[in-house]
């Protein structure tokens, strides 16, 4: 009787633990629609010098040379505090995948193949996208700075966190030919730009807008002075 009770208690404990630690499978939206722009409110966790991140939110910077001719590429991010991530993108977010490949973009042989993307809480995988090698070919749909695919959804609202809890990310992809790729966090309530996403070059940076505003103000002042001079003459 004692042995049976012990066995039942052990089995129940294992069941509870398995339930508590069940890994959530992330879904991959791979048609480029909707598309999201990488920006300060959607920071990179893996990326390159073109990433726009808020001050104090770092990312793993991939050099283009690391991907040239590379078939398989594995990348792990720095470790963040959970509060650092949720304070920026909320407790539920998706992951945008922006690929940068060489050659004919309509040729599937040139498409990056995503095999794994993991989200780790305190070093333990809690959310994952994981398929057999070589992985899922990511369609080259949108321009640089926009997601070609989206992984969804990381929902942290079901967890109870303390101040020291951490979150990190890691990915494995194949057929990386021209990188650097970027993986960035997207608040779950973010609005996509599709179908009319402007090219990255068409989106002025804040500093550019300030300079443009200053130039217009100066031009306006010059025009008014010229008009007054003409009247006085």
- For residue 31, give the nearest of 137, 116, 172 by alpha carbon: 137
Q: Encode pLDDT of 37-86 as tens digits.
A: 999 999 999 988 889 999 999 998 876 555 555 556 788 899 999 999 99
Of 16-25, 130-139, 177-186, least confident by mean pLDDT is 16-25
End-to-end CA distance of the chain: 113
Q: Do the Cβ atoms of 56 and 103 come closer than 8 Å? A: no
Q: What is the mean pLDDT of the chain?
A: 77
Q: How confident is the model at residue 208 (pLDDT cuts 50, 70, 90)?
A: very low
Q: Global pTM?
A: 0.74
Q: Which residues pair with 96 in a beta bridge?
A: 150, 184
Does residue 154 contact residue 121 with C-beta atoms inside 8 Å? Answer: no
> Is residue 155 helix, strand or coil?
strand
Residues 81-131 have pLDDT tens digits of 999 999 999 999 999 999 876 666 667 777 888 999 999 999 999 999 999
Would the pLDDT of 215 be above 70? no
Between 173 and 64, name the one with better pLDDT: 173
Residue 117 CA to residue 130 CA, distance in Å, equals 7
Higher-scoring residue by pLDDT: 169, 47: 169
Q: How confident is the model at residue 211 (pLDDT cuts 50, 70, 90)?
A: very low
In angstroms, the CA 49 to CA 73 distance is 18
Phi, psi of 186 (to 5 degrees): -125, 120
Residue-range domain boundaries for the chain: 23-217
Structure-block tokens of residue 175: 């057929």
Q: Which residues pair with 170 in a beta bridge?
A: 76, 118
pLDDT greater than 90 at residue 25:
yes
For 43, 74, 181, the CA distances from 202, given in Å and listed in that order, are 20, 32, 21
């Amino acid at each position: 009787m004692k042995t049976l009770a012990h066995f039942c208690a052990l089995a129940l404990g294992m069941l509870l633990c398995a339930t508590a630690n069940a890994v959530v499978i992330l879904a991959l939206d791979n048609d480029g629609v909707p598309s999201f722009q990488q920006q300060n409110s959607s920071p990179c966790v893996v990326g390159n010098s073109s990433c726009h991140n808020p001050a104090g939110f770092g990312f793993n910077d991939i050099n283009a040379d690391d991907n040239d001719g590379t078939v398989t590429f594995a990348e792990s991010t720095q470790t963040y505090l959970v509060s650092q991530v949720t304070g920026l993108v909320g407790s539920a977010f998706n992951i945008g995948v922006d690929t940068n490949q060489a050659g004919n973009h309509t040729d599937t042989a040139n498409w990056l193949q995503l095999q794994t993307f993991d989200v780790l809480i305190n070093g333990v995988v809690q959310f994952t996208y994981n398929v057999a090698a070589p992985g899922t070919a990511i369609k080259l749909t949108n321009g640089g700075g926009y997601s070609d695919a989206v992984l969804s959804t990381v929902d942290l609202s079901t967890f109870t966190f303390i101040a020291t809890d951490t979150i990190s990310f890691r990915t494995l992809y194949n057929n990386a030919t021209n990188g650097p790729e970027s993986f960035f966090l997207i608040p779950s309530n973010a609005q996509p730009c599709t179908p009319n996403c402007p090219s990255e070059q068409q989106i002025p940076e804040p500093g550019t807008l300030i300079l443009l505003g200053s130039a217009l103000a100066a031009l306006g002042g010059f025009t008014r002075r010229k008009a007054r001079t003409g009247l006085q003459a």
